[in-house]
Structure 1
């Protein structure tokens, strides 16, 4: 099985590619069903040091859709910019135009409708040199959240080549309109006084033309005021005053709060010095341990650089990772690998030295793979990718690769073929000549299969790891791998365990063939997962590919001319099936997911949906799930679908929301991060006036009923 293990290593490496694929440049325009986004430039005097140079992302929204300002209000996410610029050119901050207040049910958001240009000034230094073609190549990766009644996270990669010596001013009118909508700085500083649960704001120096008129109020600092709350404004001569209610979920207490006052498309900006005593802030967002709450507060206090982590916090996270890794062996996803390890143990029953070396090599494979996955995930998140634990199975290509891998392993265990009989002796004897490498690759295979699972204690530790410095975060991933490998490591080194192993014999061949069925069951699960991602056509295409691949394997077991002829036909058939049906595997499903969810009482989750319901006094239960998460499916069947649980939900008038993370969804990734989690399953109870409560990863009926009855 050493070649299958090599295939597993390749699959694990391939799982890292889909996350980075969206960063490829596609030109200056990205069009979706909801927006048309274009990277535009304004260089009226060409590109040279000291000359004006502006870039901007122009977003044209479909009717009723909107994106968000720098402070999105009650819900939403601002548009983000990640530039790749030539040496000697530096990007400034986004010059946000004046937003509009957009009511969404009982909430209020700050954002843009219609067409908006978000301009960014660039500085050209003396170090800049044009390319050999006399150009400056500009690349931008941007993400935005576009909402109507539902919210869709979108992203785009843009490339623009600007001539250095020619004027680029075809979008001059759009830039001029955007500059006209910039809030003008006021000479007189504003004042803000905290009085109880309200902020008393005083602004002087506004233009005479707006005196006596009602203005809109937009604070640049989020999570301080209640955007949809009732507030009052009044004029005292030429001085504008307002009483603005503080948010009951306030998470910040700024000493200086920049604010924008607006009349139509015109705005004026000032930085208000805040005096008075802030009331106590809202409780932490999730019911996690005090140590993890402290770490999350530290991370929020300094988002630009990870805060120093107290030793007790890191120790608690490492202990949680160790326990979570041990418990991970009991998760259903790991059962197929358990079968491989049991077969391996029986081979070394009379070889204590080989048994110990195998245990060490397997541990090294597990720990190395966890560290590699953790490092890649941390690096991609630092580069702006919204990823979480188990991200590789959000790619249909990786799911299909793993299905092919387990089909090969199952056919091998079932006795259809032996690698040593199909390959040259120098290759066929690799397993016997390199048992250490074989055990190491078994560890890689274990991680490839187990990584989508989140065991108890793992969730909080992985969520915390994202906010820690790189060395401490990687330590958590290493300890997690050590925990998973620990039972096998101890079993290989404890003599008492070896004494209880059955002696090798004819029964081993029967046991080996029996172990093929967990592998086939895993293939069935992976086909089902792909069906959730790419629809019934994708699942059918994968089955056709697996059948064609199995025929190739069977043909290679034959002898003589028959082998050559049938193998040629089988390979040609495999290539034809792959060419004709492969696209269906990666195509997004268009099935009626939302309708299916509503049929059993569950509704699709959206970022602002929870806030809307809770603000209206409605309790909410959210199931963060994915089709590839076996623990999620187990909880659905054994707990969340139980009649007594559903009856309690109905009695409590709970709205049931399901956040499906089967395919990559940055909004769900961000919501999990806010809860201190980085993978699924996650179950959260929201009630008006109370902090959210996060339940355990493996649910019980009593736990859910108790949580929703409080």
Structure 2
């Protein structure tokens, strides 16, 4: 008992690092580039209301660096994910003031030497555990000439009844270098076509007359490499901060850190930005003026001159017209051809059907745009075709097209399945069918990206809501325009044959494009969720076909219909029970590996990999693609499979990266936004040393287009 009383105070007084060592819990991760350590500071013990801090201490090898919350032109911010006892909460990182890290024409924001990222911890009242058990998963990107993503898992047991202050000097240094707040500082901003005009009053007197650095907390807004400079007038600092030529954000309010030359700590400021934000193309046109020493970069291949709203509307209209030539839209257009033939000689029905179809298309585009813009405003990294990134949505479309195909083939009639009230509604209002066909056309059009669509949709997601909706409405009008024109043009109706037996055969013929679409959707699902999900969906479609035949076949009497219908309902229920879990599970690792390895020469994309390869002096070609994107698959099996072109790419030592957006990926979505695009395909060619300014190629690739882009690369050293 005496020994126990002697050891207890000693144990409570042990530093947290010794406590962690004796418990076998690692708090240090070492690599060739950094030493990362989980440290703590609790000078009054771990109690409610007492100061308790945790932090990740990173010691960099010479010339290596990690990144701030806004990494600048490239890089990734360090992230900390805490696992703490119930009731204990970790706050945000108290980021120290960063420094500028120039890399060629780019400028990043980050840290070298020794860095501590402190986080305040809130302990609830009544916490009486002998130790505070802390688990941390941290991820960071460390760079020099190359960039290496790294991570570590740390654990620490912090004694609650003893002071922990062994790292007090490190925490004091971090707090001294953290940006300060000042009630006297008052910042305001306004916008020009190419710059953010800042005016900051109330800065510390010792800063007056000094050069200030500007660090925005929001990435993708300003030109990080441009010289800000600024002028002092009557104690007020004024500066024009050039906007990024590839601006991807238009925040109504910004936070930033100002740092005076020779000062270790900055000053935090925040200000409203009265809109509207200018078209990013205006900043792109002025980029050479903003920084005369920055080397010029080739413009995107399909960018042309800067486009405004009017040009975006025209491009969207043209893109919608061309969507009708894309293979994903053909099955639905075949339904419209059938409907047009039915009403070719009934002017009122023909014109009404055309207007209803147009309304369905345009309203669906507006609904899809509203959902897309709303989710993006909430932080989701989504783009054109986002709904097909969900396996349940893909399976639902496969079910819908199977039912349409079976109906066209004559297996069942919708009228015998629908309640009498709904069936009579369809009979009284046939225009509803035309409107719903327009809705269906939009649902299946999104896998395709036609020429001219990329630039217009990329601009649309950066515009104010009403302008973005106008661009999507123009896209829908362009898609519906051919059928609308045909319904209003009497000569087209006169060219159609009279209704007759041929229409029954044509109706059955139109079932086959529906089944072809189902095959494609099943393949997409296999890419997303694996072979088990494919088997479950096929079982569901089989049960669905049997149930449709049992319930919808007009030749059954009441007793036969009841018997077969019961069996069909049981089969359908069992298939649904089988399919739902399979559609929620991620694909098997072997399937994912097979997809990543299918082309041999291609490797998975990451922003860090692009930065590393371009820093090595290699050109990089990135294919932003998705299994549900028909245009992507056309290019993948066409120009990108050409043996001669692949040989040219190898000869020029071009690294081939593939960014697969088949399932939602926030990193890929963010990169597409940074490039000014909202969907796939996107083809980006990076010259050596330019990890953030690629040349963008057209959506429809040819070997000639790719070779022309390769010809504009600088010669290899």
Q: Structure 1, unaligned stretches of length 5 or more?
A: 1-41, 45-50, 82-91, 122-143, 154-168, 188-203, 207-217, 227-248, 296-312
The match for 1:700 is 702
What is the CA-CA distance between 1:563 and the residue it aligns to?
2.0
Give per-residue Cα distances to partners, 1:487-545, cap 9 Å, x unaligned. 00000001111111122111111111111111111111111111111111111111111
**CA distance 1:382–1:291, shift in 2 (3 Å):** farther
The match for 2:571 is 573
What is the CA-CA distance between 1:679 and the residue it aligns to?
0.7
- Residue 364 of structure 1 aligns to a residue whose secondary structure is helix
Query: Over aligned residue pairs, what C-alpha RMSD do you find?
Result: 4.8
The match for 1:626 is 626
Give per-residue Cα distances to partners, 1:112-154, cap 9 Å, x unaligned. 9999555699xxxxxxxxxxxxxxxxxxxxxx9866888799x
The match for 1:47 is none
User: Retained in 2: the 8 A contact 1:639–1:701?
Assistant: yes
Cα distance in 2 for partners of 1:521, 1:59 equals 55
Cα distance in 2 for partners of 1:56, 1:510 equals 77
Q: Note if 1:541 corresponds to 2:554.
A: no
**CA distance 1:507–1:623, shift in 2 (3 Å):** same
The match for 1:348 is 343
Cα distance in 2 for partners of 1:571, 1:58 equals 59
**CA distance 1:114–1:269, shift in 2 (3 Å):** closer
The match for 2:279 is none
Instruction: Give the one of 316, 327, 332 matched to 1:332.
Output: 327
User: Retained in 2: the 8 A contact 1:72–1:111?
Assistant: no
User: Retained in 2: the 8 A contact 1:220–1:260?
Assistant: no
What is the CA-CA distance between 1:452 and the residue it aligns to?
2.6
What is the CA-CA distance between 1:261 and the residue it aligns to?
11
**CA distance 1:442–1:709, shift in 2 (3 Å):** same
The match for 2:478 is 483
What is the CA-CA distance between 1:381 and the residue it aligns to?
1.0
User: Retained in 2: the 8 A contact 1:285–1:674?
Assistant: no
Instruction: Give the one of 496, 499, 510 matched to 1:501.
Output: 496
- Residue 387 of structure 1 aligns to a residue whose secondary structure is coil
What is the CA-CA distance between 1:640 and the residue it aligns to?
0.7
My pick for the range that moved more, 52-61 or 638-647, is: 52-61
Cα distance in 2 for partners of 1:60, 1:186 equals 21
Return the TM-score normalized by structure 2: 0.65
User: Retained in 1: the 8 A contact 2:55–2:118?
Assistant: yes
Cα distance in 2 for partners of 1:171, 1:412 equals 76
Q: Note if 1:365 corresponds to 2:367.
A: no
- Residue 417 of structure 1 aligns to a residue whose secondary structure is coil
The match for 2:266 is 269
The match for 1:642 is 642
User: Retained in 2: the 8 A contact 1:250–1:282?
Assistant: no
Give per-residue Cα distances to partners, 1:594-615, cap 9 Å, x unaligned. 5543453111100122122122
What is the CA-CA distance between 1:573 and the residue it aligns to?
2.2
Instruction: Give the one of 259, 263, 279 matched to 2:292.
Output: 279
What is the CA-CA distance between 1:101 and the residue it aligns to?
11
User: Retained in 2: the 8 A contact 1:605–1:659?
Assistant: yes
Give per-residue Cα distances to partners, 1:345-397, cap 9 Å, x unaligned. 11011111110110000000000000111111111111211111111001111
Q: How does 1:193-204 map to 2 (within 5 A)?
A: none
Cα distance in 1 for partners of 2:98, 2:69 equals 9
Q: Note if 1:466 corresponds to 2:461.
A: yes
The match for 1:709 is 711
Cα distance in 1 for partners of 2:171, 2:410 equals 70
The match for 2:617 is 617
**CA distance 1:425–1:98, shift in 2 (3 Å):** same
What is the CA-CA distance between 1:546 and the residue it aligns to?
1.2
Give per-residue Cα distances to partners, 1:607-628, cap 9 Å, x unaligned. 1221221222101111110000
Q: How does 1:77-476 map to 2 (within 5 A)?
A: 77-78=76-77, 95-97=94-96, 110=110, 118=119, 181-182=174-175, 183-184=177-178, 220=215, 258-259=258-259, 268-269=265-266, 278-281=291-294, 283=296, 286-287=299-300, 293=306, 313-476=308-471
The match for 2:681 is 681
User: Retained in 2: the 8 A contact 1:261–1:268?
Assistant: no
User: Retained in 2: the 8 A contact 1:68–1:145?
Assistant: no
**CA distance 1:145–1:417, shift in 2 (3 Å):** farther
The match for 1:654 is 654
User: Retained in 2: the 8 A contact 1:623–1:681?
Assistant: yes
User: Retained in 2: the 8 A contact 1:150–1:606?
Assistant: no
Cα distance in 1 for partners of 2:441, 2:372 equals 18
User: Retained in 1: the 8 A contact 2:77–2:141?
Assistant: no
Q: How does 1:559-598 map to 2 (within 5 A)?
A: 559-592=557-590, 593-594=592-593, 596-598=595-597
User: Retained in 1: the 8 A contact 2:78–2:141?
Assistant: no
What is the CA-CA distance between 1:571 and the residue it aligns to?
1.6
What is the CA-CA distance between 1:427 and the residue it aligns to?
2.9
- Residue 685 of structure 2 aligns to a residue whose secondary structure is strand
Q: How many residues align?
A: 540
Give per-residue Cα distances to partners, 1:260-294, cap 9 Å, x unaligned. 999xxx9643699xxx995355657851667774x
- Residue 658 of structure 1 aligns to a residue whose secondary structure is strand
Give per-residue Cα distances to partners, 1:222-281, cap 9 Å, x unaligned. 78778xxxxxxxxxxxxxxxxxxxxxx9989xxx9735999xxx9643699xxx995355
Cα distance in 2 for partners of 1:640, 1:706 equals 14
User: Retained in 2: the 8 A contact 1:107–1:612?
Assistant: no
What is the CA-CA distance between 1:425 and the residue it aligns to?
3.9
Cα distance in 1 for partners of 2:166, 2:354 equals 66
User: Retained in 2: the 8 A contact 1:67–1:145?
Assistant: no
Q: How does 1:4-19 map to 2 (within 5 A)?
A: none
Q: How does 1:520-531 map to 2 (within 5 A)?
A: 520-531=515-526
What is the CA-CA distance between 1:568 and the residue it aligns to?
1.7
The match for 2:128 is none
Q: Structure 2, unaligned stretches of length 5 or more?
A: 1-41, 81-90, 123-137, 152-160, 182-204, 208-212, 226-243, 248-255, 270-288, 713-717
What is the CA-CA distance between 1:673 and the residue it aligns to?
1.5
What is the CA-CA distance between 1:430 and the residue it aligns to?
3.1
User: Retained in 1: the 8 A contact 2:101–2:108?
Assistant: yes
Cα distance in 1 for partners of 2:321, 2:497 equals 24
User: Retained in 2: the 8 A contact 1:538–1:584?
Assistant: yes
